[in-house]
Amino acid sequence: MKRTIIMLLGLLAMVAFAGEKETITVKGSDTMVILAQRWAEKYMEAHPDVTIQVTGGGSGVGLSALINGATDIANSSRPIKGSEREKLKQRFNSLGVEVKTAKDGLSVYLNDACPVRELSHAQLKGSYTGQITNWKALGGPDAKIITYGRENSSGTYVYFRDFVLGGQDFAASVQTLPGTAAVVNAVAKDKLGIGYGGAAYAKGIRMAAVKKDNNSKAYEPNAQTVKDDTYPITRYLYMYLRSRPTGAMKAYIDWILSSEGQDLVTKVGYFPIK
Amino acid sequence: MKRTITAALLLLLCAGFALAQEESKGTADEKIAEVKGAVDGINEQMAAMQSTLDALAKIKFTGYLQEQFQVADSDAAPSFAGGNFASGVHSRFLLRRGRMKLTYDNVLTQYVLQIDVAQTGLAIKDAYITVKEPWMKAFSLTTGVFDRPFGFEISYSSSSREAPERTRMYQTLFPGERDMGAKIEYATESGPLNFLNFKGGLFNGTRENIVENDNFKDFIGRLGATLPFSEQNFEIDGGISVYSGQVNVGKGNRIYKQSGKAYSIDSTTTLTLGKYFDRTYMGADVQLYYDLPIIGGMSLRGEVITGEQPGSNNANWQTANTFYNAAGNMYRRNFMGYYINYVQNVGDKNQFVLKYDEFDPNTDIASTDALNNGSNFTPGDIKFTTLGLGWIYHWDGNVKFTLYYDMVSNEKVPSTVTAASLKPYAVDLKDNVMTLRVQYKF
């Protein structure tokens, strides 16, 4: 009888684990969603036993899902907040694991017809906080500046607010759009438009050169200026995990940080971390 | 003639084609203008909806419900695990907490109202306003009813806490956890002092739902530090706290204070009328977090509090109103308590808890002193320890089940004790409690 029970249990375990496909869920940053999809597709080609499900929604949404246990990996285009880390500590007794996966030059988008070529930190801050409302103050035509931005669940929104606006709030006149592609699209069609977002999305528009202050040199975001941080709005793109990765998750993270994974970073339009 | 007719027909055809092209162009332009108008209309509607959504996004409605089934060792068991069991009862279903919290968060200002709906009725738990300064965004002022800024266990939400209840020490010293007052808080995520935090303020000292009865305000504060070692997946947090308050004796009650191994009258009725007596606590707390490879995160938390507490002869806590409005005598005791709490996550779903706490309400006297004539030793002087073991299963992001067993031990008085109130404490009370709880949080 005892032997039968042991055999049955063994059989059950074999059925339960035989051919089981490992599934990794990834959620968060819209800035990173294309990159994350490319990584997942490429990785699954070589590892058919692993399924990677990627969705966007914004960095805040991804980190909330990580805290609630609804995703394995949260993509984020901003560092995790202290309050989010506190929640991870409360639920999982863990500080979370931060993985820097790529670098991005947070780009300032301008319409092709816009004569302005470079902008300072202060000019960007003034435009987005509502202190500067006319292109003339930025060296452009005598016309109203139309500012486009992201929703507050976006990591790009938070990063721009914290590092460019110095923590000040966006002006109410900033038009909120769902996703960086929508911001690019709006600026491409609007001669008076200005937007911000990841460098990889900059298609059909021009990227402004950005300088720290009036006495500094302006830099455009490119491989060199982002790598050596001379482009003033350089940021990391992160993956956050609840605890130290093991098994399939560890293999996937290691692959992302390998030369193969980092090659995809360049192909998508971002910049490798090494 | 034939050539002329052909030429005329060709001319007509060309003219007709040009006219058709003109008409078609005109129609396309009209269509574009029509679509553009429709898009502009949608954009206007979207902008209006967006402003409404932005306003709604500031409102957060959260809450949790805790229901439990409990079994005690004996009927009418005295318990800190959700209150004493009723006479003749050793098992019960209990709606322990039913919280609903409304927050309006306008970034630099915040409105919070939290109520508790349970079998005991409806009660206000939090009602406060927070205003943050806009320059450094590091300092904030909070006024209203909110958690007293002391130690760690008060501010650790009941929905997150692994053990079903706070320790006997906290329930005795800070019943209800909240008070009415105003506090200043310092916390920042950047700058060289970002590892430090402070919260402190003045409070009525009467608990959350009792009106103030004197002009003395209690100071409560905690200075804390957070030291993360992210590369090692390790963090150590901690703080020191102080409670400096006073209790007004409005009815001229007698004041007893420990003197040697017995209580003695500290002053006469005439002298105590309207006088203030100390309620003073000092505390220190430490929390360690470490992510164990493969298994999951763990935390080890500990806290110790010592000080002087005004109480009645049978209990080491009474509301300030007891002394102000009633004629009961006040007993001033030096106390000490501590707890150690270990939590181990196993994967994403399971947590194991081990908690040990001790609370000695009167450090100047031992249970053997119950036999001394004139010691006035009462159940309010008996030391208790509690060892708790628990398992938590997180069903999903909202629901968790907790199975927890409290093993409570009391200091034993000599079996020859004559006082009827002390006789039950000659042995260990049958007051262990098993709790099976389900919580829904949103």
B373 within a domain of the structure (yes/no) = yes
Q: How confident is the model at residue A113 (pLDDT cuts 50, 70, 90)?
A: very high
**B330 vs A68, more confident:** A68
Q: Are residues B37 and B138 in the same domain?
A: no
Q: Is B107 a domain residue?
A: no
d(CA B439, CA B159): 8
Asked if the model's pLDDT at residue B403 lies above 50, the reply is yes
Checking if the pLDDT of B263 tops 80, the result is no
- Which is nearest to A145 in space by CA: A111, A179, A176? A111
B46 and B78, same domain (yes or no): no
User: What is the mean pLDDT of the segment spanning B362-377?
Assistant: 83
Best of B233, B290, B351 to disrupt the A interface (most A CBs within 10 Å) is B233
Give me the pLDDT at residue B120, please. Answer: 84
Specify whether A50 is located in the same domain as A67: yes
Q: Given B157, B293, B397, which is nearest A70 (Cβ)?
A: B397
Total structural domains within chain A: 2
Separation in Å, CA A266 to CA A98, A222, B59, B95, B222 = 21, 11, 41, 56, 49
pLDDT at A1: 46
pLDDT, mean over chain B: 88
Same domain? A111 vs A95: no
Whether A128 and A163 map to the same domain: the answer is yes
- Decide if B121 is inside a domain: no
Q: Tens of pLDDT along B219-248? A: 999 999 999 998 888 999 999 999 999 888
- Kindly state the tokens that stand for A215: 């006495």
Q: What is the per-residue pLDDT for A104?
A: 92
Q: Are residues B45 and B81 in the same domain?
A: no
Q: Does residue A201 form part of some domain?
A: yes
Out of B187, B230, B293, closest to residue A95 by CB: B230
Q: In the predicted model, what is the mean pLDDT of chain A?
A: 90
Nearest-angstrom CA–CA distance, B11 and B193: 88
B325 and B368 both lie in a single domain:
yes
Percentage of chain B exceeding pLDDT 70: 88
The pLDDT tens digits for B99-143 are 999 999 988 899 999 999 998 889 999 999 999 998 888 999 999
Determine whether the interchain pair A93/B289 forms a contact, defined as Cβ–Cβ distance below 8 Å. Answer: yes
A78 touches chain B (CB under 8 A): no
Beta bridge partners of B285: B239, B303
Please tell me whether residues A149 and A202 are part of one structural domain: yes
Mean pLDDT of B300-310: 95
- Whether the per-residue pLDDT at B29 is higher than 70: the answer is yes
In this predicted structure, the answer to whether residue A86 has a pLDDT above a threshold of 50 is yes
**In-domain check, residue A14:** no
What is the distance between the alpha carbons of residues B82 and B95, in angstroms, rounded to a whole number?
Answer: 10
The two tokens of residue B93 are 């279903």
Condensed to tens digits (0 to 9), the pLDDT of residues A150-189 reads: 988 888 998 999 889 988 889 989 998 988 899 999 999 9
Per-residue pLDDT tens for B163-211?
999 999 999 999 999 999 999 999 988 888 899 999 999 999 988 777 8
Interchain contact A94–B (C-beta under 8 A): yes
Total of domains in chain B: 2
Q: Are residues B24 and B143 in the same domain?
A: no
Residue to mutate among B287, B345, B354, B398, with most A CBs inside 10 A, is B345
Task: Say which residue, B375 or B134, is predicted with more confidence.
Answer: B134
Which residue's structure tokens are 């500067």? A132
Q: Could you tell me if A135 and A212 lie in one domain?
A: yes
Q: Judge: B189–A81 Cβ closer than 8 Å, yes or no.
A: yes
Residue at token pair 């502009």: B40
Top pLDDT among B6 and A223 is at A223
Instruction: Tell me whether residue A191 is in a domain.
Output: yes
B10 with B79, same domain: the answer is no
Cα A77 to Cα A100, A156, A193, B13, B252, distances in angstroms: 10, 6, 23, 63, 65
Task: Determine the distance in angstroms separating the CA of B291 from the nearest CA of chain A, rounded to an integer.
Answer: 6
Residue A15 banded pLDDT, cuts 50, 70, 90: very low
Alpha-carbon distance of B26 to A183, in angstroms, equals 32
Let me know whether B154 and B52 are in one domain: no
Q: Which site among B189, B195, B196 would you substitute to test the A interface, given the most A Cβ atoms closer than 10 Å to its Cβ?
A: B189
**In the prediction, which pLDDT does B137 show?**
87
Is residue B111 one of the residues assigned to a domain? no
CB contact under 8 A, A243 and B291: yes
Q: Do A38 and A118 belong together in one domain?
A: no
CATH number of the domain residue A144 falls in: 3.40.190.10
- Is residue A2 included in any domain, yes or no? no
**pLDDT (mean) for B139-151:** 97
The pLDDT of residue B353: 98
Nearest CA to A26 out of A254, A244, A252 is that of: A252
Residues A215 and A258 in one domain: no
- Best to test chain A binding among B289, B346, B351 (most A CBs inside 10 Å): B289
Q: Does residue A150 belong to the interface with chain B, where contact is any CB pair within 8 Å?
A: no
Query: What would the pLDDT profile of A193-206 be if each residue is shown by its tens digit?
Result: 999 998 888 888 99
- Provide the pLDDT confidence category of residue A16 given band limits of 50, 70 and 90: very low
**Which of the two residues, B441 and B206, has the higher pLDDT score?**
B441
> Does residue A5 sit within a domain?
no
Answer whether residue B383 shows pLDDT above 60.
yes
Indicate if A160 and A134 belong to the same structural domain: yes
Q: Are residues B10 and B148 both part of a single domain?
A: no
Asked whether the beta carbons of residue A93 and residue B296 sit closer than 8 angstroms, the reply is: yes
Helix residue ranges, H only, B196-335? 269-272, 320-325
**Given an 8 Å threshold on Cβ–Cβ distance, is A95 in contact with B160?**
no
Q: What average pLDDT does range B294-310 have in this prediction?
A: 95
Domain that holds residue A72: 23-102+236-268
pLDDT above 50 (res A19): no
Q: Please tell me the distance from the alpha carbon of residue A30 to that of residue B48, in angstroms, as a whole number.
A: 24
Q: Residue B160: which of A90, A152, A242 has the nearest Cβ? A: A90
CATH of the domain at B148: 2.40.160
Verify that B34 and B91 share a domain, yes or no: no
pLDDT at residue A149 greater than cutoff 70: yes
For residues B315 and B392, membership in a common domain is answered with yes
pLDDT beyond 60 at B269:
no
Q: Are B1 and B69 in a shared domain?
A: no
Chain A: residue whose CA lies nearest to B396: A69
- Helix or strand or coil: residue B380? helix
Mean pLDDT of A135-162: 92
Residues of B in contact with A97 (CB under 8 A): 233, 291
B77 belongs to a structural domain? yes
What pLDDT was estimated at residue A17? 42
Write down the pLDDT at residue A189.
93
| Boundaries of domain holding B1 | 1-57
- State yes or no: pLDDT of B328 exceeds 90: no
DSSP type of residue B413: P
Residues A67, A79, single domain; the answer is: yes
**A162 shares its domain with A188:** yes
pLDDT at A70 over 60: yes
Considering the domain architecture, whether residues A123 and A224 belong to the same structural domain is answered as: yes
Q: Considering only CB atoms, which chain A residues are within 8 Å of B298?
A: 93
Chain B environment of A176 (Cβ under 8 Å): 50, 54
Q: Give me the percent of chain B exceeding a pLDDT of 90.
A: 60
Residues A136 and A203 in one domain: yes
Q: Is the pLDDT of residue A143 over 70?
A: yes
Q: Is the pLDDT of residue A10 over 60?
A: no
Question: Are B251 and B304 members of one domain?
Answer: yes
The pLDDT score that the predictor gives to residue A20 is 55
